[in-house]
Structure 1
Amino acid sequence: MEAADALPEESTFICTANRDFAAYAQEELRRLFGSVKSSVLSDREVLLVKLNTGAEEAVRKMTDSRPIFLRHVQPVQFEREGDNVGELLSAAAGFVLGSGLLAAGIKAALQVRKSEGAGGDSAPQLKEWLEELLRGSEAEFVSAGADWIVSVYVTPSGVYAGISRPEDNLSDWSGGAVRFRREEGQLSRAKFKLLEAEREFGLDLSAYRSAVDIGAAPGGWTSLLLERGLKVTAVDPAKLHPSLLKMPNLTYIRKNASEIKFRDNEFDLLVCDMSWSPKLMVQLVTGLLHALAPGGTAIITIKLMHKKPMALIKEVIASLEGSRLQVQRSKQLFHNREEITLYMIKY
């Protein structure tokens, strides 16, 4: 066949976003690739996407673009129709073994997911079963630090499988679902958002000296910063949890942030996770930016309060960047709900 007659390259991926935000992840893909064919695998969260680009180029574009809503991708290099889960899983294992990528000395992570309505055992049980089927490869099966991720997705009508490098999946967690263990006495689930932001953005919170937490109550983010050894000024007209009030590194100001004036360059970290309107959040944050030292970090959440999140995010970022903040990353983290998280540096 002449080169001019060669068929265009295509690739298939399973793409995951936070619940109810798959449409926005799909829009991000359209902006990258133009035409995108997709179908829903799991209600409001997981899509099967066919791209008119080869797999290697598609992965490069998706990772380089650092999408906001697209949380996780896994390649589809094998698919089989059917409703017998045992046969489907065995077929997927055969594909993996036949790839030759798993061998002695290789560390592999097995990530098995199921859509609603898929029969058979639970996803963790299927993972154990898959591991047994792959024992002959002599690879070491790990939960972190893998050389390769083996992804298997089971639906009521078939199975999809692929093998990829962890960095090519946007997240090395199965489906991008970052899980933290809830601690005894933990004040709120909001703490998980800051933990995930630290991991996603490559930060080390313990490297900071002094932080201001705007809208701190009941104290989930403040508690984590105190655990990391920072001096924290928590600002909120609402009450902090009593367990924090005797912490020696805490200064608690029970006022609205708009009523306070700090010294210039007093903090090297500013965080804000308020459940208020984005416009008001921007006003409060920019009003206190004089207290953040040049080169300091800001981590804030934007509440997505209407049906045009792309436009809202663009507007908020423009306002913040006009106030000497440079956005490094914007991401809807797994622990975000109707919001995204921004990581910024003051210049």
Structure 2
Amino acid sequence: MEELRRLFDGLSLSQLSPGEVFLMQLPQDREAVLQTVREGKPIFLRHLQPVDASRTLSLDADDLDWLGDWLRLCRGKLAGMRVGVHVRKADGSPYPYSAADTRALLDAVLAEAGAEPAHKQPDRLVSIYATKDTLYAGIGTPEEMLSDWPGGAVRFQKEDGQISRAKFKLLEAEREFGLDYANFKHALDIGAAPGGWTSLLLERGLKVTAVDPAELHPSLRAYRTLTVLRKNASEVKFDPDSFDLLVCDMSWSPMQMCRLVQDLTPALQSGGTAIVTVKLMHRKPLQTIREVMSRFSEQFEILGARQLFHNREEMTLYMKKK
């Protein structure tokens, strides 16, 4: 909320789902709002649903009829396009229809309008959100909504033998920042244990040097491309330009993490990539972020800063070494 207030003058916010979903009312027009978001690149805003229409819930078939009639009126915006439908409900919403049932109705309307219902790579998104008393509906592109996942909630399937859910953070960072880890050759994983991030990089074919005083998961011993250093990060040194990727997901204070990464930055090649999580367990997260980014900007160009869906009380930085 604080981040949004800094972005927009005259902003009014009301909470629709505690700590998660808010209704923004703004004096600016839609294009001005989208331009501000593109330029401001919010860290905490994961999804932005336009409200093109709304209705007080009737809790019967009239709700579905209204959604169908509204979408038919929008056919001119959607004909000939691949269109995805997102349906979400706030906790405790009495909206009586499942997401699947609502989506099935709207997919049929889209087909009538000459659009192609699409679950992947849509050109447009129809987004529906039900609260305890209101239905909100809007249409936009995935870029305008900041994500092509409902509510920006990027979900990955847990694998058999997966070492930790931390792996999802690195997968989401790859998607969010347009990376392909397979394009790298040798990665340094600082604070690697139990090995969730290391395992993903090894699976993508990288050589990985993992640094942590704690033990990595035994399943990783099978990789000949893995070097493990059972030490604190402050105790290791590497030759310059040894790595083209540096990753760090440590449960340390932000400033301690920052110092450790900066001390090991000479081992990263010029133009090399760094993916780092910043813990935000203090009372002033925006101030913490500013301080960390200011320190890192001495050695890195900061290309992305986002609180990802799989982050908790933390955010993720995507950087390139100068």
Select which of 274, 293, 301 maps to 2:269: 293
Q: Any idea what SS the aligned residue of 1:72 has?
A: coil
| Residue of structure 2 equivalent to 1:32 | 7
Aligned equivalents of 2:108 and 2:279: distance in 1?
A: 44
- 2:200 counterpart residue number: 224
- Alignment pair present for 1:167 and 2:116: no
Counterparts of 1:138-177 in structure 2, within 5 Å, are 138-177=114-153
- Candidates 80, 83, 86, aligned match of 1:105: 80
Which segments of structure 1 move beyond 6 Å, counting only runs of 4 or more?
Answer: none
Q: Does 1:303 align with 2:284?
A: no
Query: Is 1:84–2:59 an aligned residue pair?
Result: yes
1:131 to 2:107 alignment: yes
TM-score, normalised to structure 1, is: 0.89
Q: Distance in 1 between matches of 2:60 and 2:204?
A: 46
For 1:151 and 1:104, the matched residues in 2 are separated by 17
1:305 is paired with a residue whose SS is coil
TM-score normalised according to structure 2 size: 0.96
- Structure 2 counterpart of 1:329, from 282, 292, 304: 304
Deviates more, 1:305-314 or 1:90-99: 90-99
Q: Deviations over 1:17-42 (max 9, x none)?
A: xxxxxxxxx22222222111111111
8 Å contact kept, 1:63–1:170: no
Paired-residue identity, %: 52
* C-alpha deviation, 1:134, in angstroms: 4.2
SS at match of 1:337: coil
Q: CA RMSD in A?
A: 1.4
1:40-88 residue CA offsets vs partner (Å, 9 max, x unmatched): 1112100011011001111121122211001100100111113325322
| Displacement after TM superposition at 1:135 (Å) | 4.0
Any conservation in 2 of the 1:33–1:52 contact (CA below 8 Å)? Answer: no
Residues 103 and 331 (structure 1), Cα distance of their counterparts in 2 relative to 1, 3 Å cut: closer
Task: Name the CA shift for 1:85/1:212 in 2 (closer, same or farther; >3 Å).
Answer: farther
Structure 2 residue aligned with 1:188: 164
Deviations 1:192-251 (A, max 9, x none): 000000110111111111000000001010011011111000000001000001201100
Q: How many angstroms apart in 2 are the aligned matches of 1:333 and 1:304?
A: 13
Residue by residue over 1:106-158, the C-alpha shift from the partner in whole angstroms, topping out at 9 and shown as x without a partner, is 21100011112222133333323433454422321111211210011112212
Correspondence for 1:340 among 304, 315, 320:
315
On the 8 A contact 1:82/1:158 being kept in 2, the answer is yes
How far does the alpha carbon of each residue in 1:288-308 deviate from its partner, in whole angstroms, 9 at most, with x for none? 111001100110000002110
Structure 1: any 5+ residue segments left out of the alignment? 1-25
2:35 counterpart letter in structure 1: R
Q: How does 1:4-23 map to 2 (within 5 A)?
A: none
Structure 1 match to 2:22: 47
Residue 250 of structure 2 is aligned to residue 280 of structure 1: no
Aligned-partner residue type, residue 72 of structure 1: H
Q: Alignment partner for residue 63 of structure 1, among 34, 38, 63?
A: 38
Work out which of the residue numbers 314, 317, 328 in structure 1 matches 2:290: 314
Provide the aligned length of Structure 1 versus Structure 2: 321
8 Å CA contact 1:106–1:139 kept in 2: the answer is yes
Task: For 1:68 and 1:85, locate their aligned partners in 2 and report how far apart those are by CA, in whole Å.
Answer: 38
